[in-house]
Chain A
Amino acid sequence: MGESFANNIARELSKRDWRLAEPFREFSVAVEAELRAQGHDPAHAEATLIARMVTRCYSRVLYLACGEKSAARERAYVEVKAFLFAHARHLLVEEGEVAQDLTQKALLEILEHYAECKNGDAFLGWCKQILVHEHLDRLRKLSRTQKTPHGKKYTKRILSLDAIAEQAEADEPRVMTQDALAQTQNVVGAALRAPMLEIFLETLRRCLKKEIRVRVLVELYFNDKSFVELAQELALSAVNIQVIKSRALQSLRECVEMKQLYATWHA
């Protein structure tokens, strides 16, 4: 394999200060094999794709090193910690100290539950999941307790990411252009017959009240779009879409009119 391929791998390792890919030649061969297994030609793979495969292969390296009783284990945990901290800082841009606490808590969880992770390929993903779990746990605790002029007030738990995602629905006019509205109509129109379509869309709009909720549900369930596609199309984060979807489904579950509509169709 060419020098530039090896350089790309080396650059990715260096960027993250990952030092356990020894011997380098062997690691490089593993990345190449991973690319081929995914149906890509290593000679023409883009740098971003190579970066993903490096992370996947290095995930295995770290997984094995974390389980060893050697000097590599200590280094592996240093690298896992740095990896987690980079992600924690991304989640908590303006809260450096909280990001450190979060990293520390997640690392302790990883040490304690290491044996529960059985898949080396997904080890770094598993570590990230523990970090995200800790982050959500913290947000949930914050949402339960509110300070009032009379002291602390304990409130019913609300969806913890609401605050983060509020902007998505507030930005509705930006997102829902006339084109987007017409597209919603077309997607549903392709799936349902005309009378059914009109009744369904009318009911959906009455139950959901916000057009962005209609759009998200239609794209996910009628157009089979993934979160990645939808996030890109609507210029929203996956978290935004999750909150909109969750609120929309909840509204529909409580909507008597929608239940009756399904019952009528069945009859």
Chain B
Amino acid sequence: MNPSDADNIPAPLKRLRDALWGEPEDDISHAKCRALLPAFVQAEADGEPVAKLYARVKHHLDHCDECGEEYALLLDLELAEMRGEIEFASAISPDAPRSLEQTLQELARRIVESLAPASLPEFGVIAETFFARVEQLGTFELRPSAAQALGLGRRDTNPALNIIAASYAATQTLAREITRAQFEEWIARDTLETEIETRADAAARAVGIQRELAARFARVYAEQIAREPDALRDLLS
């Protein structure tokens, strides 16, 4: 006899029997299952009772390896995202090596996160405006006149703008003043953070950033460079 005919057996055995030789009328179409998978995965990751909410999807997954594979990979990605294992920041520009502007933006964003998180919502817009303005000024150098034109250091200036400009100025100073050999030597001597902090502090104050903010900025900037030295190393000759 066909095992699917059996009825007088405990529920767990029935569930297994349905997965093995289940009745086709309970099944949903392949296309319907695929359409429901994103919501199913989201619900499972949220801890919702998917066995009840999506019984027919589960049944289909028992029989269809193609959907089963897709489901399992989607679930792994969802769980990886929840654990913070998907690296978004380094994936922003998949097409080309990162430009100076992108490197600086990423660096400045991390510093804003630490020093002025309330300014994060406007960060993207401010950064875009800043780099467009710098491009208009036509130079990598951020001279005092350019800093003034950008409105840096004023009491009402958005902290994000100050930090972006300070990151720009500090990076520019370091790229001009130190060599790659010197940079490696600081790493070897374990003095990188201190050396960077001193120069970042001076560079930030030179573009009009107030003393206290400049000091706090320099500390976080130096920490970031020590954590990811490649960001600066690539700019050095």
- Chain A contacts to B: CB under 8 angstroms: 3, 6-7, 10-11, 13-17, 19, 21, 24, 38, 48, 51-52, 55-56, 81-83, 85-87, 89-91, 99-100, 103, 119, 122, 125-126, 128-129, 132-133, 135-136, 159-161, 188, 191-192, 196, 200, 217, 221-222, 224, 226-228, 231, 237-239, 241-243, 245-246, 249, 252-253, 258-259, 262-263, 265-267
Contact (Cβ within 8 A) A222 B44 = no
Q: Please indicate the chain B residues that have their CB under 8 angstroms from the CB of A17 in the complex.
A: 88-89, 92, 124
Contact (Cβ within 8 A) A238 B5 = no
The CA-CA distance from A17 to B124 in the complex, in Å, is 7
Known: A14-B113, A192-B13, A253-B21. A231 touches B88 (CB 8 A): no
The CA-CA distance from A82 to B86 in the complex, in Å, is 11
The CA-CA distance from A16 to B9 in the complex, in Å, is 52
Q: Which of B1-20 contact A (CB under 8 A)?
A: 1, 3, 5-13, 15-17, 19-20
Q: Which 4 A-B pairs have the closest CB atoms?
A: A125-B38, A266-B6, A242-B72, A262-B3
Q: Which of A38, A56, A81, A192 is within 8 Å of B94, CB to CB?
A: A81
> Any chain A CB within 8 A of the CB of B80?
yes
Known: A48-B82, A132-B77. 10 other contacts (CB 8 A): A10-B117, A14-B112, A15-B88, A89-B87, A119-B39, A159-B65, A221-B12, A237-B72, A238-B72, A253-B21
* Distance from A6 Cβ to chain B, minimum over Cβ atoms (Å): 7
Contact (Cβ within 8 A) A21 B121 = yes
Contact (Cβ within 8 A) A52 B82 = yes
Q: Please indicate the chain B residues that have their CB under 8 angstroms from the CB of A263 in the complex.
A: 1, 3, 6
- Chain B contacts to A: CB under 8 angstroms: 1, 3, 5-13, 15-17, 19-21, 34, 37-39, 41-42, 44-47, 50-51, 62, 65-66, 68-77, 79-82, 84-89, 91-95, 109, 112-113, 117-118, 120-125
Contact (Cβ within 8 A) B73 A135 = yes
The CA-CA distance from A94 to B34 in the complex, in Å, is 28
Residue of A nearest to B21 (CB): A253
The CA-CA distance from A16 to B91 in the complex, in Å, is 9
The CA-CA distance from A76 to B79 in the complex, in Å, is 24
- Among A10, A83, A126, A200, chain B packs the most CB atoms within 10 A around the CB of A10
The CA-CA distance from A226 to B46 in the complex, in Å, is 12
Contact (Cβ within 8 A) B65 A90 = no
The CA-CA distance from A226 to B52 in the complex, in Å, is 11
The CA-CA distance from A129 to B37 in the complex, in Å, is 8
